Amino acid sequence: MITLESINDFYEAQFREWPGLKASYDALMTAERRIMDMAGMNVGLQYNPQRRQSTEAAVDSSSLAKRPCFLCKTNRPKEQQSLKIIDGWDWLINPYPIFPVHFTIVSKAHEPQEEIPLDMVAAADAAPCLAFFYNGARSGASAPDHLHFQATLKDELPLLPIVERCHTADKSGIMLSTDFPADLPMKFWSLVVMPDPTGMQLLSILPKLYGFDATTGAPDPGMVNVIVWMDASRRLRVVVFPRKHHRPACYYAEEKDRCLVSPGAVDMAGLFILPRKEDFDRLDTEGIKDIYDQCGLTADELRNYRPAPL
């Protein structure tokens, strides 16, 4: 079981052995933040220049083939240690943090990011203080050629308490966010998974829940962000954001209209990571709503879209 104490010990040990890691977490402490109220939710903006490489990562197959994979063990910093929590995975401290506690959980094998790994459930069971998040290959993953997911403390993601309040733990099954009594700007499916056959059935369809390519309309397993966590009553929670675009139009716009944002699960859950100061200063609630509508599904799309298992 992972506790706050064991997390702290691991961080302390890695900070001692790896000064560069300590420096990047110290830099995070001084990162500027802004909070905006959207439908009663505190949507956050974080100005984080250390994330620029990740935001701008070229994830087409020829670019991937040309660079050494930074998640493969042979290419990792020699100081980087792994926790042994779940078989088949290395549990690493993320050297480019968004959060003061930020893990990357990396498959031991160099295999592509094809579908949501159900080992996220085992991870949530082993670490109930953490929320685990997954970015599909075309939805914010900067290394879609090497299967991985990430984790942070549950209270870092503004959306989680709202989901727990709007979809109560006694309502097993799937609920559309458009049926929540809150007009949230991001659209998603919320799952409450009971430890029973119905819950197991729900988990078995989870890897088949994803969005589609906006150009072709074809369902695409790379078009998804997922968050998995245990709530205070030890009920398994999953939020799935079906996606339709990798990046919003403003990412590709001329400089005067440009906003360098490439949303992943964290942004979809209400915390925007902006590597450029001008975007951090400029992005407003209208812009955020627009990014959610472009990259995720709109309310109408969520109501009408039915992937095969639903």
Contacts of Zn ion in 115-154 (CB under 5 A):
146
Residues 6+ apart with CB under 8 A from 307: 208, 209, 210, 219, 242
Q: Based on CB atoms, which residue is closest to Zn ion, 71 or 227?
A: 71
SS3 per residue for 197-241: HHHHHHHHHHHHCCCECCCCCCECCCCEEEEEEECCCCCEEEEEE
Q: Based on CB atoms, which residue is closest to Zn ion, 106 or 123?
A: 106
Residue 175: what are its φ and ψ, rounded to 5°?
A: -130, 140
Decide: is 76 part of the binding site for Zn ion (CB under 5 A): no
Decide: is 110 part of the binding site for Zn ion (CB under 5 A): yes
Of 36, 72, 166, 194, the one binding Zn ion by CB under 5 A: 72
Smallest gap from Cβ 110 to Zn ion, in A, equals: 4
Smallest gap from Cβ 71 to Zn ion, in A, equals: 5
Structure tokens at 18: 């790896």
- Segment lying near Zn ion (by CB under 5 A), choices 1-9, 62-70, 116-124, 212-220: 62-70
Q: Is 215 left (phi over 0), alpha (psi -120 to 50) or beta?
A: alpha
Contacts of Zn ion in 176-215 (CB under 5 A):
none
Smallest gap from Cβ 114 to Zn ion, in A, equals: 14
| Alpha-carbon span 194 to 201, nearest angstrom | 10
Q: Based on CB atoms, which residue is closest to Zn ion, 51 or 146?
A: 146
| Alpha-carbon span 250 to 256, nearest angstrom | 10
Smallest gap from Cβ 310 to Zn ion, in A, equals: 33
**Cβ atoms within 10 Å, residue 208:** 14
**Terminus-to-terminus CA distance in the chain, angstroms?**
34
Residue of minimal Cβ distance to Zn ion = 69
Contacts of Zn ion in 237-266 (CB under 5 A):
none
For binding to Zn ion (CB under 5 A), which residues are involved?
Answer: 69, 71-72, 110, 146
